[in-house]
Amino acid sequence: MLPFARVAIIGLGLIGSSIARAVRQEMPTVRLSGHDADPAVRARATAIDLLHDIADTPGAAVLDADLVILCVPVGAMASVAEQIAADLPADAIVSDVGSSKAGIAAALAAALPGQTVVPAHPVAGTENSGPDAGFATLFHGRWCILTPAGDADPAAVMRVSTFWEKLGADIEIMDARHHDLVLAVTSHLPHLIAYTIVGTASDLEEVTQGEVIKYSAGGFRDFTRIAASDPTMWRDVFLSNKEAVLEMLQRFSEDLTALQRAIRWGDGDALFDLFTRTRAIRRSIIEQGQDDARTDFGRSHD
């Protein structure tokens, strides 16, 4: 028994198009409709037959949906919710995939009074954007965190849970504020650090751009993958998860200062102890199936 029969996806980029592909593969009888603000994206989605119906407005896309998933940048969630409000069937469940949750939950509740809302965040992605970047297996073995309000209908939460399980995800249910704190350290801060390192390297005057690229295998290139992530998406994530990110950034700055001191005073034991602890974390990530166990992410060294 499928949890939904008619799914509408608003925003047909990496995440929206991955959901569409996965639904077609795992729940082929589900009718898919959708919309994207960008006419070029709508044209591309039509060309690759991403959905059964691609509408010119968000309202038209949701008219007979029983699940609506907002897959737009975090900063656009509120306005999309307002645009679909008048056309939403009363019994449709609204969800989203935003990378921060407390702000979106508040915005959706304000824009859609009386509607059942079950916010979600699939912790899966790549540095690429757009409808061609998506793939059906993106969510396999990845966590999808649901952050329903305390008084949310348990049956609705169960249906959204089943939907994501069918796409291959494992489900975790969390308070929205706790989600934002956890993701600030596991995702948002690492992106901020990568953006900083890549920015710093490109600003250095005594090292040429050519040298930065030529010797990037020394570690730099692994940061560039993250720092190539979508600028709109990440601008919105930092603006919406401001408090949690600033809190984690404060702790990070203190730890960085301690490392600076250890290097200045030649405290090799402090450095060695930290690097030993961090190596163990990498091993745990691999043991839990959250990354490729192959050396250097499986890059070919032929």
In the bound complex, what is the minimum distance in angstroms from residue 187's beta carbon to ligand NAP?
A: 8
Contact 229, 190 (CB under 8 A): no
In the bound complex, what is the minimum distance in angstroms from residue 272's beta carbon to ligand NAP?
A: 34
In the bound complex, what is the minimum distance in angstroms from residue 80's beta carbon to ligand NAP?
A: 5
In the bound complex, what is the minimum distance in angstroms from residue 127's beta carbon to ligand NAP?
A: 8
In the bound complex, what is the minimum distance in angstroms from residue 245's beta carbon to ligand NAP?
A: 14
Residues 202-241 that bind ligand NAP (CB under 6 A): 230, 232-233, 237
- Map residues 87-126 to x or -, x wherever contact with ligand NAP holds by CB under 6 A: ----------xxx---------------------xx--x-
Count CA atoms closer than 13 A to 91's CA, side-chain side. 7
> Of the two residues 130 and 168, which places its CB atom closer to ligand NAP in the complex?
130
10 lies in the site for ligand NAP, by CB under 6 A: yes
Dist. CA 121–CA 203, nearest whole Å: 34
Which spans of this chain sit near ligand NAP (rule: CB under 6 A)?
10-16, 36-38, 41, 71-74, 76, 79-80, 97-99, 121-122, 125, 129-130, 230, 232-233, 237
